[in-house]
Chains A and B, each alone.
Chain A
Amino acid sequence: MTTTTVAPRKPWKATKADLYPVFGALALAAILDYAVVAVTPMKGKLAYVLLFFIFGAGFQMALKWRALGRRAAVDSLAASVAIAGAVIAFTPVISLLLTTIVKGAKGIYPGFFYHDMSVANYQSPLNQGGVVQAIVGTLYLIILATAISLPLSILTALYLTEIRGKASGFIQFLVQAMSGIPSVVAGIFIYSALLLTTSLRGSTIMAALALAILMIPTVTRTAQEVLLLVPQDLREAGLALGATQWKTVATIVVPAARNGLITAVILGVARIAGETAPLLFTLGVSNKINWNPFSGGQSALPYYVWSGLGDGTELGIDRAWSGILVLLMLVLTLFVVARVFGTRKVKIK
């Protein structure tokens, strides 16, 4: 067998020589932008951003027009608009993240992760107390709410996509309607249905039930869409081998939709992880770790943040920011773990 000495190239990728005019045009746009803002009545950050976009997109269009003609220029304008849309959409998100990191970092010290709030209150100096009880509480809530809602959601989605029973239309309607429930209503429902009428007291499991009500429609809808994407051919192939419907669904359809189902769970967890309102009526209160999810009050990160803001003092608000930062890190970690362990590696030749 001969070995090749030819180097692979990607002639379709922009080369450095292609990029110099692009960056040159952007630099020119920035200079022109600055000059126009300086001499005209248009002032302020918004004027800078808007004019930079107009000049930048205009220059790119002119470059493309010169090189490849009108069609390429219009193409370049569409790309500029898409880029601008993405920038506009992500600016608040990035700003929010940076603000949280900057403000939250103030209250973070190692003890923040292993002290609880029984040794401090919201007005204590920032090197006292911590959120370990709230981290444990939030993890408990996420795990329990997922454990309750995941089987129900997947089974509902399977009923809607695989069994397609007579009640499908009605259940579909209920799932739609449920996704519109305000989160505080879920909390009030559990409070009035279970806590007010019985001797039960607020605990982790009660709050998890309220969160599950919110999680079920999100996971069901997403799981349903994902299951519908599994080609009908695969179901037929399974059935044509003599499999029952249950075996076909369990061994072919669900595994084929696996990555999408993990996305469904991630979206569900994202829906509930930061919820505060349902916890107010159902969680009880604790400033220490409570390892028992079935009795006694519990803490949670959103609840900690809410209390810190409610405290209103400078130290309380600093603590709230740190709580938000920890919550973001926790959720991010969970998502990364779900993706890494949940995604099947597909081998590409």
Chain B
Amino acid sequence: METRAKMSTENSPQTNSLAGVAAARVREPGTAPLGSGLEARGVHAWFGSHLALENVSLDFAAGTVTALIGPSGCGKSTFIRTLNRMHEFIPSAAMAGEVLLDGKDIYAAGTDVTRVRLQIGMVFQKPNPFPSMTIGENVLAGLKLAQIKHDGNKDDLLEECLTRAGLWNEVKDRLGAHAGGLSGGQQQRLCIARSLAVNPKVLLMDEPCSALDPGSTLRIEDTISQLSKTMTIVIVTHNMQQAARVSDYTAFFLADGGPGQMIEVGPTNEMFSRPKDQRTENYVSGRFG
């Protein structure tokens, strides 16, 4: 018991500092005219007969950043993949519930799934630039793949996307080089630039910084802050400082021996300073997980 009490005192300053970081960037939801955002209603997800995620209802107001935190295997990644219909690529997968984009269920019959994924972009854990394309071609790949006619100047779009992703200055002189020559952090920012070119309403990021060094991580966090002015962002992260730094809202997921569930969601500063659930408190203060 004594050890635990000691641990708790040691951890409390950290908890407070996280809350302090988060409090600095509280923002009212829906301040940007970006539509009504994304809403998950009673989402369940199965792999075969195994229920991996149970009854998650969560609103992502337009123009906000929401961090999904929780230990490994708690269903965060599964949840984020149900939000743009990537879950169904696993052959045994099934789901229940609704995901509404601007009030329309993306799982409704007759939905054009390619259009859903065009509006809800995704950045993956491992940087995955297309190896056969140059840096410039990678950024504009979405236009070609989704067969979008771009009215303006493509060079301007290229510069805009790379600038917003915080990569322009590093690559402006070698846009014709192959993307494989970039560092891991640069490749990930290239992937972010690539997803911006098709102008999504929502950007899903599944642990985008887990393979990156602190410098690259910081740059991507800056990028996220910039992007949140114009789009809705959902980010899965294991890094609690990161959640505190970049997000307006935080949702805590946990699989307590059973299916993954969302334990609690709230404004990030409250989640880190005075969470309602003991389990959230334990997690954010580093007592487990």
- Spell out A's residues near B (CB within 8 Å): 1-2, 4, 6-12, 15, 17-18, 67-69, 71-72, 348-349
Contacts and interface: CB of A to CB of B under 8 A. Distances in A.
B109 A18 contact: yes
Given A1-B258, A15-B109, A10 B54 contact: no
Interface string B239-259: 000000000000000001111
A134 to B, nearest CB: 42
Nearest to B92: A348
A8 B47 contact: no
A69 B146 CA distance: 13
Contact of A6 (B55, B110, B112): B55
Contact of A12 (B48, B85, B92, B114): B85
Interface string B157-177: 000000000000000000000
B109 A6 contact: no
Given A12-B85, A15-B109, A71-B114, A6 B50 contact: no
A6 B258 CA distance: 16
Interface stretch (B2-10, B93-101, B191-199): B93-101
A10 B110 contact: no
A11 B99 CA distance: 12
B112 A12 contact: no
Q: How large is the interface on B (under 10, 10 to 19, 20 to 34, 35 or more residues)?
A: 20 to 34
A349 B96 contact: no
B88 A9 contact: no
Contacts of B54: 2, 4
Given A8-B94, A9-B94, A349-B47, A71 B109 contact: no
Given A1-B256, A71-B146, 18 more contacts: A1-B258, A4-B54, A4-B55, A6-B42, A6-B97, A8-B46, A10-B93, A11-B95, A11-B108, A11-B109, A12-B85, A12-B107, A17-B109, A18-B109, A71-B147, A72-B112, A348-B48, A348-B92
B113 interface: yes
Given A17-B109, A72-B112, A349-B50, A8 B44 contact: yes
Interface string B43-74: 01011101100110000000000000000000
B17 to A, nearest CB: 35
A6 B55 CA distance: 9
Contacts of A2: 54
Q: What is the predominant secondary structure among interface residues of chain A facing chain B?
A: loop
Nearest to A18: B109
Contacts of B95: 8-11
Contact of B113 (A1, A8, A10, A12): A12
17 contacts: A1-B256, A4-B259, A6-B55, A6-B97, A8-B96, A9-B94, A10-B93, A11-B95, A11-B108, A12-B107, A15-B109, A17-B109, A67-B110, A71-B147, A348-B47, A348-B92, A349-B47
A38 to B, nearest CB: 37
B128 to A, nearest CB: 16
